[in-house]
Structure 1
Amino acid sequence: MGVLRTALLMGIFLWVSLLANGLNLWPMPASVGYGSGILYLSNNFQLRTEGSKYSDDSRILSDAFLRMVDLVRVAHVIDGIVPSSGVLDGLHVRIFSEDDKLNFGTDESYKLSIPASGKETYAQIEAQTVYGALHALETFSQLCYFNFTSKIIELHSAPWKIIDQPRFPYRGLMIDTSRHYLPLAAIKKVIDTMSYVKLNVLHWHIVDEDSFPLEMPSYPNLWNGAYSYSERYTTADALEIVLYAQRRGINVLAEIDVPGHARSWGLGYPSLWPSFDCREPLDVSNEFTFQVLDGILSDFSKVFKFKFVHLGGDEVNTSCWTATPHIKNWLKKKGLNESDAYRYFVLRAQKIASSHGYEFINWEETFNDFGKQLNPKTVVHNWLGRGVAEKVVDAGLRCIVSNQDKWYLDHLDSTWESFYLNEPLENISKPEQQKLVLGGEVCMWGETVDASDIEQTIWPRAAAAAERLWTPTWKLATDPKLVAPRLAHFRCLLNKRGVAAAPLFAPGRGTPPFTGSCIQQ
């Protein structure tokens, strides 16, 4: 079946490629106009910022510009002679906001104008914020090509007029550092590639039952739960990831999954376990449990500045509570059954998070079990399947879509086509309810990935979802075959940039099925 699928896709590749018209941008912008001229990038390509309110004291824009120029030139040695006419000398960027704070809802729109051959020698970028300008730089980089005859960089189909903004404010990718440790360099590579596809939230599932690798100054023994002495993150490491992501327009959403998935906590503080024989969920009857949670979220608030924190709440098996005498007595004294105690824990964790300035996200089991009893500020994170988002917004709560049948990257049999076609607003037609769907997220659970294979497991499938989350509905293809050549081109571009993106025409993290061009794999 895999060989047949590849043959069919390759059979349509040639005629579909005619539809692309050289418009090899990913994700597709909201509005694109272009011509037929050719420009040549100056060897001294420069950034100008006259007319901007943004001062760039933090060098977010100037550093991003240098990275963009490096990306354009990375594939080949540029040693040709640039013609005397039709030369593009640089980019003139005007940003209308002085503020470079990044958080949920930051304006990410931009306008990119590239002249035809003539007297104008600078392309123009206009954006409300520096983060919109970063997206414009990425779009610009994808318009540039190396000419193997002249050995210079060309920009085809000028003039260009691109007006762009995201469809959803939340466009996420989750990584899991509890099932396998990921070095900082691997996390940074993921962040870099997220910026290429205009994803804007790195959901960091930092700890779980398997390991607790993060330093917590308030409770320093917690990272005794790490796999080994060296497989840990210091507080400074975490801050480094947050700042690295922020300079690329990406927020970091930290997750502390409670009360389940927390067995590793007790390696540092055994009293968090219900008992030595029954080690999770966290002991709901012990005030120390909530003191530790308060300390963790206090430490989080000094590092993770995103508006939201993820409190987990999924897959809570309460049997340890009812099997442990002191918790069973506590339940009886409080007049609670195990379901009541689960709700008590979730709501109390939300209250603690709120005291540290956070709004909170919980996995969908909390909504399935408790519905409107949740704090009305709860964002419900769907994962179990389809049809949940419409129930969440009907209850007046916000939602993030990650249904596992389509957007779980650890499902290695899931193809990029299924990622592309997954629609967060399925069966949600009322505008006021559509606004409650903040966006979506693809999830890279870590059981089968570490630094050796994470890139080819994420990409290019996550890029397919990224277009669904960025591009307006009317520009999305109803048949993924129509975008296959463009995504194949983008996958090859990722390879040129040093990203180990897997072949397009193989599910999961497949290998090239035969010899041939990158774009045919």
Structure 2
Amino acid sequence: MRITLILAFVSLVASDLIAIPQNLLWPRPQSLSFGTWARSVNPSTVNVNINGGNRELLLKFAVDRLKTNVLLMGCSDITNLPGDINTIDVTILETDPFDFSNAKESYTLNSTNSTVYITAAHSVGALRAFETLSQLISPKAVAAGFTPGFHLPSGPWNITDHPVYSWRAISLDTSRNFMPISVILRTLDGMSATKLNILHWHIVDATSFPIVSKTYPDLTDSAYDKLSIYTYEDVKQVITYAADRGIRVIPEFDSPSHAQAFSFSKVLKPFVLCRNAANGWRNPYNGGVGNQPDGSWFPTCVEPPCGAVNIANPDAGPAIAKLLVEYTGLFNDSVMHLGGDEVSSFCFASEPEFTSRVFPDVTNFAKLFPNATVPSIFPPDWYAGFTKSYQTYADQIVAAVKGTGKKTMHWEDIVLKDGVVLPADAVIQVWNGWDDVVGKNSLQKLLDLNRYQIVDSNNEVYYLDGGSGKWLTDSLGYGNSSWKEEYWIGYRNWQHIYNHDPRTSPMENTTDKTGFGLASQPTGNLTLILGASAAIWGEKIDSSNLDVKLWPRAAAMAEALWSSFDDPTNKDLFEAEPRLTVMRERLISRGLAAEALHPAWCNTHLCGFKFKGNKSPFGNVDGYEAGASKDQSSQSKATGIFTGLKWISSILIVFFMI
């Protein structure tokens, strides 16, 4: 057994947020009050009464998880220990909806001397309340020496809670590096602990198609090996495991780009152009001479292996649609993601199989592509033909999916870059944050359309796979870093993620060429923004480092989306960090290898006291307290004197078994 001491350390609170006793809760509830007494609880013997809702689900799984998760944070045999609180009384007020996306996550939690009362509209709200309760029930050592057992401290508790954003997701890539089912389930455990509610499963990509298909069985020939394939039973296990935790699973089957793996199917192979692009880009209409050397994939696609569905072939859309319809029967969520990102005009321009269909009346392609080198700007006639073909293809696959009763989701490119018009109920996922006029402010551009619902995955905030260095050996054909590697290389710290709010945070400035300026906050119908999704792309991520890349940074996003704040600039990192430290230990106790937030020394000492600029957690200061000398500012750490700040000091000792 190991004893881990977490000091929910001295923290400087520059806001008016209510300090949560012992920093127990993450994410922060919308409304809470508490008292001063503590009542003992034996999680092994407490009775749980459930009225209404999915009683079987809650009793069979959620109650056991509640008890198990509490015990993971404690130690010793508590079988014969009494409990003052002996009952958890749960009331579900409404019938659970068939469509999981309509489920209400709101709940209330109230404690008395002997009973905890939970009320929720739907069963998923009770699941969220159970998670809150599992965080409140603490080892008695928190406040009372080393007496074994557990208690509910600082009672009575009165909590009213609900999420601000309905879309709180992780986008998980399992194609570029295969993720075993056990790893996906463990990720769902972390999502449940932090009240995230959607797993966006990027299950296939150009590198592999690792899921069994009954329509095109040879697609799995693209898998890395026979063990790196998801069966129908595997997928059903993930969906069931997620549903038991109140989490939706939305699959993504990307096309027309990222489609090289489709070519492993004998039926689909004729529809896949630019396969692997092993000979570099060529202009076939000016003597076949280009400026990219053999072996270069750029600019035929943004990363290897290249491959794109021929959107001009009238048989391609129906063929892909059959595959999608198959999976609408396997995945039961009301949304299916159809991709649509990073479609390369260079690929289609180099393939006569595409151009001869789109421009059947053009005989002199030298007029359409006058330069032998890679064109930087395609002529208007090209884009008109390209968009018309893409619209037809999109109409075909979208109609097939919608015909099964689902709505579709897409990356922003299909609308903003490629000009396709989608059904008004489509969900668009924003990801761009480039340092150029065309790629910037994509969220605002979608708001201006006032047509689609939006999910924010701004790569400057929510891409969590960065920070591991470059991986391509042939970038741009000259041994240089590609734009994609440079953009992915940065590490997004938890503070940056935590401070971002999809509806209120300033966006990139479209007139700023350097990429550092910020425009105003988003404007328009902000209710169209459903929430956000943290993406973990798999180029350098596999089961060995997924946890440390996701956690606890995904937890920072979870609170920012659940709790939100009227003014995100008033978020208090000093108030949040002790609670996130406790949450990290909780995640570790549940089997997730969450990254350290700081040296353990900082658990008992104040770290990083001095700040520069006008946006420090201390308020409008420039490095030090207004009117204070360096010596005075440093002394305030020891003496607790700092103008305008409240000192909050609490200690949480957490025991858990190794």
TM-score, normalised relative to structure 1: 0.89
- Residue identity opposite 2:540 in structure 1: T
Q: What residue is the counterpart of 1:46 in the other structure?
A: 47
- What per-residue deviation string (whole Å, max 9, x for no partner) do you get for residues 159-182 of structure 1? 000000110111110100111000
Deviation at 1:287, TM superposition (A): 4.1
Deviation at 1:347, TM superposition (A): 3.5
**What does residue range 19-30 of structure 1 map to in structure 2 within 5 Å?**
19-30=19-30
Is the counterpart of residue 392 in structure 1 residue 440 in structure 2? Answer: no
Contact kept, 8 Å, 1:180 with 1:449, in 2: the verdict is yes
Contact kept, 8 Å, 2:501 with 2:564, in 1: the verdict is no
Q: What residue is the counterpart of 2:75 in the other structure?
A: 77
Deviation at 1:433, TM superposition (A): 0.8
**What does residue range 363-374 of structure 1 map to in structure 2 within 5 Å?**
363-370=411-418, 373-374=421-422
- Residue identity opposite 2:53 in structure 1: Y
- What per-residue deviation string (whole Å, max 9, x for no partner) do you get for residues 177-233 of structure 1? 111000000000000110111111000000001110011111111111111111000
Contact kept, 8 Å, 1:40 with 1:82, in 2: the verdict is no
Q: What residue is the counterpart of 2:250 in the other structure?
A: 253
Q: What residue is the counterpart of 1:406 in the other structure?
A: 461
Q: What residue is the counterpart of 1:442 in the other structure?
A: 534
Contact kept, 8 Å, 1:273 with 1:280, in 2: the verdict is yes
**Corresponding residue SS for 2:256:** coil
Is the counterpart of residue 33 in structure 1 residue 33 in structure 2? Answer: yes
**Corresponding residue SS for 2:254:** coil
Q: What residue is the counterpart of 1:316 in the other structure?
A: 343
- Residue identity opposite 2:45 in structure 1: N
Q: What residue is the counterpart of 1:357 in the other structure?
A: 405
Q: What residue is the counterpart of 1:510 in the other structure?
A: none
**Corresponding residue SS for 1:266:** helix
The unaligned stretches of length 5 or more in structure 2 are 1-5, 278-305, 363-383, 434-439, 468-490, 505-519, 608-658
Is the counterpart of residue 180 in structure 1 residue 180 in structure 2? Answer: no
- What per-residue deviation string (whole Å, max 9, x for no partner) do you get for residues 254-302 of structure 1? 0011100010110223213226575621122334422332222212111
Cα distance in 2 between the residues matched to 1:242 and 1:11? 38
Q: What residue is the counterpart of 2:501 in the other structure?
A: 423
- Residue identity opposite 1:47 in structure 2: V
Q: What residue is the counterpart of 2:585 in the other structure?
A: 492
Cα distance in 2 between the residues matched to 1:20 and 1:138? 16
Cα distance in 2 between the residues matched to 1:306 and 1:277? 33
Contact kept, 8 Å, 2:10 with 2:604, in 1: the verdict is no
Cα distance in 1 between the residues matched to 2:183 and 2:526? 35
Contact kept, 8 Å, 1:112 with 1:136, in 2: the verdict is yes
Contact kept, 8 Å, 1:40 with 1:83, in 2: the verdict is no
**Corresponding residue SS for 1:22:** helix
**Corresponding residue SS for 1:137:** helix
Identity, % of aligned pairs? 28
**Corresponding residue SS for 1:93:** strand
**Corresponding residue SS for 1:151:** coil
Deviation at 1:515, TM superposition (A): 6.7
Cα distance in 2 between the residues matched to 1:202 and 1:519? 37
Contact kept, 8 Å, 2:30 with 2:162, in 1: the verdict is yes
Note closer, same or farther for the CA distance 1:469–1:275 as it changes in structure 2 (3 Å cut).
closer
**Corresponding residue SS for 2:425:** coil
Note closer, same or farther for the CA distance 1:381–1:91 as it changes in structure 2 (3 Å cut).
same
Q: What residue is the counterpart of 1:483 in the other structure?
A: 576
Contact kept, 8 Å, 1:343 with 1:370, in 2: the verdict is no
- Residue identity opposite 1:319 in structure 2: F
Deviation at 1:61, TM superposition (A): 4.3
1:340 to 371, 376, 388: 388
TM-score, normalised relative to structure 2: 0.71
Q: What residue is the counterpart of 2:470 in the other structure?
A: none
Cα distance in 2 between the residues matched to 1:15 and 1:80? 33
Is the counterpart of residue 110 in structure 1 residue 158 in structure 2? Answer: no
- Residue identity opposite 1:44 in structure 2: T
Deviation at 1:55, TM superposition (A): 5.2
Moved more, 364-373 or 130-139: 364-373
Count of residue pairs the alignment pairs up? 496
1:471 to 548, 554, 563: 563
Q: What residue is the counterpart of 2:140 in the other structure?
A: 147
Cα distance in 2 between the residues matched to 1:157 and 1:11? 18
- Residue identity opposite 1:433 in structure 2: N
- What per-residue deviation string (whole Å, max 9, x for no partner) do you get for residues 288-323 of structure 1? 422332222212111212121111111111333232
Q: What residue is the counterpart of 1:14 in the other structure?
A: 10
Moved more, 364-373 or 200-209: 364-373
2:119 to 111, 115, 126: 126
2:429 to 381, 387, 393: 381
Contact kept, 8 Å, 1:382 with 1:402, in 2: the verdict is yes
**Corresponding residue SS for 1:141:** helix
Cα distance in 2 between the residues matched to 1:95 and 1:420? 32
**Corresponding residue SS for 1:229:** coil
Note closer, same or farther for the CA distance 1:79–1:239 as it changes in structure 2 (3 Å cut).
closer
Cα distance in 1 between the residues matched to 2:49 and 2:225? 49
Cα distance in 2 between the residues matched to 1:339 and 1:271? 21
Q: What residue is the counterpart of 1:301 in the other structure?
A: 328
* Structure with higher RCO (Cα < 8 A, 6+ apart): 2
Note closer, same or farther for the CA distance 1:20–1:48 as it changes in structure 2 (3 Å cut).
closer
Note closer, same or farther for the CA distance 1:487–1:461 as it changes in structure 2 (3 Å cut).
same
- Residue identity opposite 1:189 in structure 2: R
Contact kept, 8 Å, 1:30 with 1:475, in 2: the verdict is no
The unaligned stretches of length 5 or more in structure 1 are 1-9, 506-512
Contact kept, 8 Å, 2:414 with 2:420, in 1: the verdict is no
Cα distance in 2 between the residues matched to 1:323 and 1:207? 25
Alignment RMSD, CA only? 2.7
Cα distance in 1 between the residues matched to 2:335 and 2:604? 40
Cα distance in 1 between the residues matched to 2:340 and 2:58? 36
Note closer, same or farther for the CA distance 1:150–1:21 as it changes in structure 2 (3 Å cut).
closer
Cα distance in 2 between the residues matched to 1:520 and 1:494? 23
Q: What residue is the counterpart of 1:7 in the other structure?
A: none
Contact kept, 8 Å, 2:358 with 2:386, in 1: the verdict is yes
2:155 to 149, 155, 158: 158
Contact kept, 8 Å, 2:23 with 2:582, in 1: the verdict is no
2:86 to 64, 86, 89: 89
Contact kept, 8 Å, 1:256 with 1:310, in 2: the verdict is yes
Contact kept, 8 Å, 1:313 with 1:346, in 2: the verdict is no
Note closer, same or farther for the CA distance 1:514–1:294 as it changes in structure 2 (3 Å cut).
same
Cα distance in 1 between the residues matched to 2:321 and 2:153? 56
Note closer, same or farther for the CA distance 1:133–1:520 as it changes in structure 2 (3 Å cut).
farther
Q: What residue is the counterpart of 2:356 in the other structure?
A: 329
Q: What residue is the counterpart of 2:282 in the other structure?
A: none
Cα distance in 1 between the residues matched to 2:81 and 2:421? 68
- Residue identity opposite 1:374 in structure 2: L
**Corresponding residue SS for 2:153:** strand
Cα distance in 2 between the residues matched to 1:519 and 1:355? 60
**Corresponding residue SS for 1:126:** strand
Deviation at 1:13, TM superposition (A): 5.1
